[in-house]
Copies of this chain bind each other. A is one copy, B any other.
């Protein structure tokens, strides 16, 4: 069984998701800056996993700076936080986890903690974020039970699996929950260009679990829906606005529109840490633009003419009206989302 992210003596250990499925290689980040770089390079990706990883990065900085003067350690923690916050802009779990780590640090200092105690507190907080994320995914799987028929073909996009979380997954948590409950589930995995998280990650982790998986080019989802071969869609989320608009991997919005057009329910699975009540609508969510080489090159070899212009947005926003339900660890939110989401977010 793989471990997406864990804190080890040497630092923060990540399964290098860029190498999957060909190689199962772990890398250890020995500093918060290395953790930030790993997030930026997508060694680790997936909104919840990014949050967990960033939290471990802050804890690492705190433990490594325990010998500093207290004010210098506090500055080092702020520096680590800022570097991690700059790594990627769209997934709100990153900022949520960093804010939680910062609150823990403030609380510890306010209670008179010295450096060693502060570091220990932050290590515990990061581990708690990790453990709670894993538990949240399992709860998402349980809460989703009424949404998944006894026999179903489920389309998913990108990887909202164990690799995108501390384990079990959000969208794939819904699928694992259904499989664990004895339902006959077949998964259609969109390959998810340009980074191929579906082909490389979702197909891999579902096959590891023995779950029936069929890989498709993203462009094939539409005609399969029209042919009646999809019973429901479930995806993860990188940020959910207060009105229920969902930012997720580029290509999610097309899937949602196609689902609506074909009368297929479109569900989003995410922990409440993905809900950003400060974003009124999807228009308030920053969308990361990534390197054109993700589109123009394939395994390091060019497929497009040299010099071609490229637009490579990493995410899109699916308006709330396409979303049949949002499954969280605290239960299912249904339209109207402004009320149902607000009710689910603790201490908003």
Contacts and interface: CB of A to CB of B under 8 A. Distances in A.
A302 interface: yes
Interface in A275-334: 287, 295-296, 298-299, 301-305, 307-313, 316-317
B295 A216 contact: yes
Contacts of A253: 222-223, 226
Interface string A238-268: 0000000000001101100110010000000
A218 interface: yes
Interface stretch (A46-54, A77-85, A161-169, A186-194): A186-194
Nearest to A195: B217
Q: Assembly of this chain: how many copies?
A: 2
Chain A contact residues, majority secondary structure: mixed
Interface in A32-58: none
Contact of A203 (B222, B257, B305): B305
A261 B257 CA distance: 8
Contact of A301 (B207, B261, B299): B299
Interface in A184-225: 188, 191-194, 196, 199-200, 203-204, 207, 212-224
Contacts of A1: none
Contact of A215 (B251, B257, B304): B304
B213 A303 contact: no
Contact of A310 (B22, B200, B214, B223): B214
A21 interface: yes
B21 A219 contact: no
Considering residues A222, A257, A304, which has the most beta carbons from chain B within 10 angstroms of its beta carbon? Answer: A304
Contacts of A188: 311
A186 to B, nearest CB: 9
A192 B212 CA distance: 26
A282 B203 CA distance: 31
A192 B311 CA distance: 15
Contacts of A312: 216-217, 220
Given A207-B308, A261-B257, A308-B207, A219 B251 contact: yes
Given A191-B193, A216-B311, A222 B257 contact: yes
28 contacts: A21-B302, A21-B305, A22-B302, A191-B193, A191-B303, A193-B217, A196-B303, A199-B303, A199-B304, A200-B303, A200-B304, A213-B309, A214-B308, A214-B309, A215-B295, A217-B312, A218-B219, A220-B312, A221-B254, A223-B287, A223-B316, A257-B257, A257-B258, A257-B261, A261-B261, A298-B298, A298-B299, A299-B299
